[in-house]
Structure 1
Amino acid sequence: MALELKIALIQAPLIWEGPTANRAYFSNKIANCSGVDIILLPEMFTTGFTMTPENLDREEGRLTLEWMQQNAKKSDAALIGSLPFYENGNFTNRLFFVKPNGAYHAYDKRHTFTLAGEDKVYNAGNDRLIVLYKDFRICPMVCYDLRFPVWARNDDAYDVVLYVANWPLPRINAWDTLLKARAIENLAYCIGLNRVGTDKSGHEYPGHSAVYDCLGERIAYSEEEEVVFATLSKEHITITREKLKFLDDRDQFTLLG
């Protein structure tokens, strides 16, 4: 039987700095995502893209991680999303990849969004994360990371690159274009989950969550508040890479921090 990975992308509005209300919202959505392997939640899904995480209880990050573990177990699906996380005196924009058995992996956003001052509030990460899950190698990233192709460059280490985001309307053409580009240049599925609605600062978010296959063909897309479903095929990855050996011709380089 061909290997497949079923994905649910929860494209949602977010309540500003309202972790309890946001968790309740997503609990309801997750409960209706039966039969999937992975459920994606937006960037900073408990708060919106806040630059004032000091307004939150310092334990909110750990509470949300426990909530993710509980919901991953209930849904029998991995949960992926980022949130403000306080640790050792600092905040990070931390993505968690939480498996149904409670085990988890963490990735701190590498490229903090200087235009909004994120670099002044959140510590940037230095390590890329690749998780093997149900025979798919998955590389999760966060929002602004999408603009930096070197950080996402596939050295045949992953099958899927994904981005959770708060990407605003004025630059949505870049989002659409770069998601497709990351799929084509890396011969990988590329998934982008954006939020919808308007935040406290008046920034509008239009969705445009999408899934692209290894050839840059869009197989799922939405601009509405809804759950978007897609199925990824391991066979598609294998056949594409055997036929088009572009990764063999990639430039070799080493990141220097």
Structure 2
Amino acid sequence: MKLAVVSLNSIWEDKQANLEEVERIVQTLNQKVEYVIFPEMSLTGFSVSNLALAEDFENSNSIRAIQKLAKENQMNIVFGLMISSGDKKYNSCIAVNNKGEIAGNYEKVHLFSYSGEDSLITGGTQLKSIDWEGGWGLSICFDLRFPELYQELSKENLILLNIANWPKTRVTHWRTLLNARAIENQSFMIGVNRTGVDGNGLEYEESSCVFSPKGEKTEPFEISEKVKIFDLNLEEAMEYRKNFPIKKDRRNSIYREFYS
């Protein structure tokens, strides 16, 4: 399975400029990969206070543009966008398949109260898996600190994905948590982070990466300034789970008592 992770330097609140860059990158990847993944709030940066950036999910120009791009290039695309539904706004991870159809939409469950995200955005209430090859479990940025989410997602998915705007000041946490989620769930853990400096003055370090089900950092076979291309062998995850079946030792009935 060939996929590209894009460490996009999202231009602050400029959807058109970011969309043009997304289109350029996807077109350069044509026929090289099956999947391409962009960071959280790909077209705006993490500007949760500007609620005017939200787009109605059923009538979104940005989603339509990505659908057209995916169909024309026969590529599966994952990207982040603030969407609206009625009077509520959500920080979403949207997956579009290579036919230009929406394969899934995940609304961020764990909101980053430290930044005030929880006072502006509505938290999602459902986990989301995509039935792409191997099964994909979706998550966004701050979700990474909550391992329970990934235990549930990994029941049916060999690939766990987190798209983020994770600042350089805490990038050691980012890499460590991605590694931990891979190890404890025996899944490929893909983290896609932005780069550059955002409109709040936060700096981001190029840190997009993939960890194997054994917790080993997977090396890309091709690297450019913004893009890393990986070739994942899903049989590795299936074989490892079979040979080292730690999930069968989980005691879910006791865990439920802890959280009741």
Find the partner of 2:136 among 135, 138, 142.
138
What is the aligned partner in structure 1 of residue 85 from structure 2?
87
Find the partner of 2:29 among 9, 13, 33.
33
| Per-residue CA distance 1:36-58 (angstroms, 9 max, x = gap) | 11110110001000022334375
Which range is displaced more, 205-214 or 146-155?
146-155
State the SS of the aligned residue for 1:218. coil
What is the aligned partner in structure 2 of residue 236 from structure 1?
236
- Report the TM-score when normalising by structure 2: 0.91
In 2, the alpha carbon distance for the partners of 1:192 and 1:165 equals 7
Find the partner of 1:75 among 73, 76, 81.
73
Q: Would you say 1:13 and 2:12 are equivalent positions?
A: no
Dislocated runs of 4+, deviation >2 Å: 51-61, 220-225, 253-257
- Identical pairs, percent: 29
- Report the TM-score when normalising by structure 1: 0.92
What one-letter code is carried by the residue in structure 1 that aligns with 2:182?
A
Which range is displaced more, 76-85 or 215-224?
215-224
| Per-residue CA distance 1:113-151 (angstroms, 9 max, x = gap) | 1111111111110111111113x1110110000000011
Segments of structure 1 that go 5 or more residues without pairing to the other structure are none
Aligned length: 252
What is the aligned partner in structure 1 of residue 53 from structure 2?
56
* C-alpha displacement of 1:73: 0.8
| Per-residue CA distance 1:226-251 (angstroms, 9 max, x = gap) | 11111111210121111101111123
In 2, the alpha carbon distance for the partners of 1:225 and 1:53 equals 29
Distance 1:57 1:113, change over 3 A: closer
In 2, the alpha carbon distance for the partners of 1:12 and 1:241 equals 33
Distance 1:201 1:225, change over 3 A: farther
State the SS of the aligned residue for 1:133. coil
In 2, the alpha carbon distance for the partners of 1:98 and 1:27 equals 14
| Per-residue CA distance 1:161-217 (angstroms, 9 max, x = gap) | 010000001111100100000000000000000000001111000021100110011
Find the partner of 2:146 among 122, 145, 148.
148
What is the aligned partner in structure 2 of residue 201 from structure 1?
200
Is this contact kept in 2: 1:9–1:40, CA < 8 A? yes
* C-alpha displacement of 1:31: 0.6
In 1, the alpha carbon distance for the partners of 2:54 and 2:91 equals 15
State the SS of the aligned residue for 2:60. helix
In 2, the alpha carbon distance for the partners of 1:163 and 1:212 equals 12
Segments of structure 2 that go 5 or more residues without pairing to the other structure are none
**RMSD over equivalenced CA pairs, Å:** 2.2
In 2, the alpha carbon distance for the partners of 1:251 and 1:225 equals 45
Is this contact kept in 1: 2:7–2:192, CA < 8 A? yes
In 2, the alpha carbon distance for the partners of 1:224 and 1:115 equals 34
In 2, the alpha carbon distance for the partners of 1:54 and 1:210 equals 30
Is this contact kept in 2: 1:208–1:223, CA < 8 A? no
* C-alpha displacement of 1:94: 1.1
In 2, the alpha carbon distance for the partners of 1:140 and 1:220 equals 22
Q: Would you say 1:106 and 2:102 are equivalent positions?
A: no
| Per-residue CA distance 1:64-118 (angstroms, 9 max, x = gap) | 1111111111221111111111220121001111111222111100011111111
Find the partner of 1:43 among 34, 40, 45.
40
Bigger proportion of residues as strand: 1
